[in-house]
Amino acid sequence: MGGSAVNCAVQNVSLDTLFLIVIQGAAVIVLGKFIHLSLRRHNLPSAISQIVAGVAVGSLGLHDMIVHVEVQNVEDTYGWYVSEARIFYMFYVGLDADLAALWNDAHRCTVVTYASVATCLLLAAFVSGGIYGSMMHTPVRSPELLSAVLMLTLANTASVDVSRMAAELDLTATGGGRLAVSTAIATNIICIVGEGVFSCMKLASSRTPGYSASERLGMGVLALLKVGVTMALLRPVAAYMNRRNAGRHRIGNWELVLLLVAVSFVGNFPEHAGFDGVPASLLLGLAFPREGPVARSVMDAIAYPLHALALPFYFGAMGMRINFGAMSGAIVVPAVLLTLLGLFGKCAGTMAAARYLKMPLADAIRLGVLLNIKGHVNMIDMSFASSEGVTCLHPTSSLATTMAPLIWPRVQIWAEQALMAMVVGSIISTVVAGPVFAVLFRKEKEAYACSDQALEHMAPDKELRMLACVHSARGAPAMLSLLELLATTPRAQPTIHVLHLFDASRKHVGPKRYHQRVQDSDKHIDRRIDDATQVNWAVDVFTSVTGLAIRQFDVGDRGAAMKNSKNIHRRLEEVRAGLLLLPYHKEQRYDGKMVCRRDDRCELNRKVLELAPCTVGVFADRPFWRGGASFRLPTKISTSEETTAARNQGDQKAGTQIAAVFLGGPDDREAVAFACRLAKNDGAIRLTVIRLVLGVATNDDHRIPTTSAANHIGIYDDDDEDGGEEEVLSVVVQDDDPDERCVSELRREYVAKERAEYVERAVSGAVDVAAALRATAGAFALVVVGRGGRQPPELVVGLEGWVQMIECPEVGPVGEMLASEESLEMGSVLVVQQRTAPPPPFHLNIPPAI
């Protein structure tokens, strides 16, 4: 036995073992990619291909040909690498998590987690006697310990496996995928905590080599204290690094290496004490600051190695554990039995939770199958209880102490065949979950494509996922300011995604001008100040000031409108956005003139408007508006001239003036709904809804009092306040008229509560409409209008001829008239299109809508 221990110590540092890992990892990666070519058309996650590749590589016998030392368990060969992969990936999951979205699903996650764990624990306690008789081939001194191990085994869920498969299929942004991931993580943490508590009990610690119950408890408290100190120092250290690297896209290499080493140490604090390090690494990722170059550098540094190298080997190692020479019915039957028991327990728990949460039964069954994934967590927990030769383990090895409560020298809990049954059962549960993930992917994709994403019909408590596109750093502040105003509750707002389409065809050649040069004396300033870095600055400012989670993606724009539109559409489906904001193809010059920098951007906007599965807003930013600096800075530090002057005069209702022009039709209703969402920012926005109605044109606006009947539209003259005679035009509202229902809702929820003003202006034709639109110049910082095409023809029929003179009418006649206004008095313009049915594209000779 002493020679075995020496061999075990030698193999941990042998070059043969390292060479074996490299060969096996390369073989798994290459073969997994080849297998996935045929499986990805069925929307199966790549983890299934990697497990199959691991089974094939494991059957080649590379271990016996390369490693020339005796290893009694294959887990001893690459267990440390698997453990590090779990630590870093769970840190990545925490860093990439959408905290606000997870908080919104906290109630459902809590109910499903407790229900599934409770049913599995009860089921395992009930059937442990039968399992003991069918799987054990040698006597066990402690059946109670066996029962406790079986309870944790059935209740556990491999959070790494579920998170990876859901992220690969872009399910983390959906309700079903997010619930599966959050429940899997919560279940895994509960089982790990239960395992830690169980390891400190006399039943387990009395048979643990080297540690007593009190010693193990003290080590656990010390590890917890170390993790707590690290969490307390995390934010100040990250803030210092962000200040030190201000203006850079990423931090220095030495700083990055220091952070990654710190992540490994924090994750291994519990491992050295004999506990699992997954909760510590996950908590570290959740607490890690999201803003600044520190977060960007860490995400960019670990994303590719994890997805391309670590995780394929992680899943391949599951398949390489299978020993086909020892395979028999005594292994396959218990493996299937354990898988079915886990499925029954998980599905029973999720179905009970679904009944309470009023979820569909099919969704509950799919969720139960996904939560039954055991993966590597179960294998690592059970690997060192497989034989009497546990003294082969090095006493200081973290893997040797991971499940030390379950083992003791020369005493066996699980038989060798029982352990292999656990391995086969874990692989079966993971492979079975692959088709279920594919079904969930197709279901969520179809639901997003067919769902009603209109802001007009959105419930007040429904989260709004937003995606904004920017072409340069010039338009980023205004776009971010608009996104901030749309996020009425920052703590409940899911992550906002910003897609930066930078000009990849432009080459920076030739000497720079003096004011564009970077002084060499300051080594902390990035010498490549490109568009992406400048957009990073704006994103960092808004993130730190507003508290919103904003994530930036950089995609090269090579001028192909069709390719760029596909990239935007693909990103929409990934984040499941309900609102897309695009920049107008024209930019304002210092003299107010709107100029087009690139003609292909107009075509890009038109293609996106035709294919977008959600509401789209085209934003014409006017940074040189004479009214002030609105939509340039976050609301908390806004320096708008009118706001500052009004506050100095003691006006408590001071705010940015916004107007919504309403002619009729779904796009105009969506524009009003968009403006009303902005008006929810009390004190920051003053909304005025201007409705143009067909009648006798006058020069005065007619404001509707809030006490008028909801089933009539009253037009009152402004002289009514002076006691003059009033003119009333009453129109009976049709119950089936969506425009009138929209106006009634507006007056009841916003005008009556003094959150908005409602104005009606009578017009007699296109000339009056154009005059009314131009009259908004100078009074409003933002004008929100509908794209049109489905507006009342009697109001816009005369504008069609005017639009025919426009080269690229991407925003409709009303929007084009406002966005192309060459005046410094006109504020920014937002043109909104509602996605109900495939919208009719604007053509030069479009007939009037009927």
**Same domain? 346 vs 494:** no
* More confident call, 840 vs 623: 623
**Same domain? 467 vs 424:** no
849 assigned to some structural domain: no
Percent of the chain with pLDDT over 90: 20
**Same domain? 341 vs 489:** no
Contacts of 819 (CB under 8 A, 6+ apart): 584, 586, 594, 618, 620, 811, 829, 831
Q: What is the pLDDT of residue 129?
A: 64
Q: What is the pLDDT of residue 642?
A: 47
Contacts of 339 (CB under 8 A, 6+ apart): 372, 425, 428, 429, 432
Does the predicted TM-score (pTM) go above 0.75?
Answer: yes
Q: What is the pLDDT of residue 721?
A: 40
Task: Kindly tell me if the per-residue pLDDT of 673 is higher than 60.
Answer: yes
45 assigned to some structural domain: no
Residues 243-264: pLDDT tens digits? 888 878 888 889 999 999 999 9
Q: What is the pLDDT of residue 831?
A: 92
**Same domain? 195 vs 113:** yes
**By residue range, what is the domain housing residue 205?**
85-389+408-450
Q: What is the pLDDT of residue 582?
A: 92
Q: Would you mind telling me the total number of residues written for the chain in this entry? A: 850
30 assigned to some structural domain: no
- pLDDT grade for 528, boundaries at 50, 70 and 90: very low
**Same domain? 432 vs 549:** no
69 assigned to some structural domain: no
**Same domain? 683 vs 824:** yes
Q: What is the pLDDT of residue 347?
A: 94
The CATH code of the domain that includes 232 is: 1.20.1530.20
Q: Where in 243-337 does DSSP place strands (E)? A: none
The CATH code of the domain that includes 678 is: 3.40.50.12370
Question: What are the structure tokens assigned to 672, written together?
Answer: 């009003």
Phi, then psi, of 783 in degrees rounded to 5: -120, 125
**Residues 32, 33, 34, 36: what is their CA dihedral angle, to the nearest 10 degrees?**
80
**Same domain? 272 vs 382:** yes
Q: What is the pLDDT of residue 725?
A: 42
Residues 454-463: pLDDT tens digits? 888 887 678 8
Whole-angstrom Cα distance, residue 134 to residue 414?
A: 12
Task: Kindly tell me if the per-residue pLDDT of 113 is higher than 90.
Answer: yes
* More confident call, 409 vs 25: 25
Q: Mean pLDDT, the chain, as a whole number? A: 76
- pLDDT grade for 354, boundaries at 50, 70 and 90: very high
168 assigned to some structural domain: yes
Q: What is the pLDDT of residue 65?
A: 61
Instruction: Please report the DSSP string for 667-734 in residue order.
Output: HHHHHHHHHHHHHTSTTTEEEEEEEEEES---SS-EEPPTTS-TTB-----GGGGGT--------BPP
Q: What is the pLDDT of residue 218?
A: 82
Q: What is the pLDDT of residue 425?
A: 84
- pLDDT grade for 715, boundaries at 50, 70 and 90: very low
Task: Kindly tell me if the per-residue pLDDT of 674 is higher than 50.
Answer: yes
Q: What is the pLDDT of residue 458?
A: 81
**Same domain? 185 vs 296:** yes
**Same domain? 659 vs 762:** yes
19 assigned to some structural domain: no
For residue 834, the 8-state DSSP code is -
525 assigned to some structural domain: no
Whole-angstrom Cα distance, residue 662 to residue 671?
A: 8
Q: 662 pairs with which residues across the strands? A: 691
Least confident of 275-279, 705-709, 722-726: 705-709
Q: What is the pLDDT of residue 487?
A: 85
Task: Kindly tell me if the per-residue pLDDT of 184 is higher than 90.
Answer: yes
Q: What is the pLDDT of residue 78?
A: 65
**Same domain? 494 vs 418:** no
**Same domain? 423 vs 485:** no
Task: Kindly tell me if the per-residue pLDDT of 369 is higher than 90.
Answer: yes
**Same domain? 578 vs 439:** no
Residues 433-443: pLDDT tens digits? 999 999 999 99
- The mean per-residue pLDDT over the stretch 605-633 comes to 81
Contacts of 622 (CB under 8 A, 6+ apart): 588, 592, 826, 827, 828, 829
Split into its structural domains, the chain has a count of 2
442 assigned to some structural domain: yes
Q: What is the pLDDT of residue 418?
A: 67
Ranges of H-type helices in 528-683: 531-546, 561-575, 600-611, 641-648, 666-679
